Amino acid sequence: MTSYIILLGPPASGKGTQAGNLRDHLNLAHVASGDLFRYNLKNETALGLKAKAYMDRGELVPDDITIAMVLDRLSREDCAEGALLDGFPRTLPQAEALDVALANKGVQINRVLNIHVPEDALIERVTGRRLCRTCGEPYHIKFKPPQKEGICDLDGGELYQRDDDTEATMRNRLKVYWDQTSPLIEYYRAKGVLVDIDGAQSIDHVTEDLKAAVADL
């Protein structure tokens, strides 16, 4: 059986952190739309330059651009048996386009892991977030510090702070989440694939709950 799993949750709820913990356990490709945009931005592709203005404002990149980018990624060989989707879909048109693309392959979304975290905790998480410039692994100055300050534990890459990880941009990203992304919770609940996860626990406890929620796949 294939496993197409979505990590759903507001910005900084821990999707990237948990994808890192789950992907090896599940042996699935990690497909993160934000990482794909940042990769394009770093390489100054036409797609990256188009996305930049939206990302800087904390707005969503238009659906047509985002859907084409993610479906292209999902058509690669390493996603043939499934994928761990992180940050996509974020709108109803994206969810519908994903359903159509998977149905064309004779597969479907198997589970949606809906991570809940209170808003004050999200602000603290986002402002303390640091990422590896090379591999994108997330850290936190207080909650998940690297062994050596400023250096990635995994590959020794330099840690940096995202331009959009400010409190002001985060307020807009949270508004965008509630307006445009949260309707997906009911969309997937109605399909019977949604599991609610308490994301306010420690990183390891959240990982345990997520593993339990996909143990039958």
Kindly write out the interface string for residues 150-189 of this chain, putting x where it contacts ligand ADP by CB under 6 A and - elsewhere.
-----------------------x----------------
Query: Would you count residue 15 as binding ligand ADP (CB under 6 A)?
Result: yes
**How buried is 6 (Cβ within 10 angstroms: 0-12 exposed, 13-18 middle, 19+ buried)?**
buried
User: Which one, 90 or 111, has the nearer CB to ligand ADP?
Assistant: 90
Binding part of the chain for ligand ADP, among 58-66, 77-85, 100-108, 146-154 by CB under 6 A, reads 58-66
In terms of Cα–Cα distance, which of 32, 190, 9, 184 is closest to 97? Answer: 184
Cβ pair 83, 2 in contact under 8 A: no
By CB under 6 A, the count of residues binding ligand ADP is 35
Query: Would you count residue 143 as binding ligand ADP (CB under 6 A)?
Result: yes
In which residue are the tokens 């060989």 written?
A: 77
Q: Supply the angle between the helices 63-74 and 92-104 in degrees, to the nearest 10.
A: 30
- Which one of 90, 109, 174, 210 is in contact with ligand ADP (CB under 6 A)? 90
Q: What is the rounded CA–CA span in Å between residue 132 and residue 64?
A: 29
Per this entry, what is the length of the chain?
217
Active-site annotation holds for 173: yes
- Which one of 112, 137, 139, 197 is in contact with ligand ADP (CB under 6 A)? 139
Q: What residues are labeled active site?
A: 15, 90, 129, 162, 173
Q: Which positions lie near ligand ADP, rule CB under 6 A? A: 9, 11-17, 33-34, 37, 54-55, 58-61, 66, 87-90, 94, 125, 128-129, 138-140, 143-144, 173, 202-203, 206
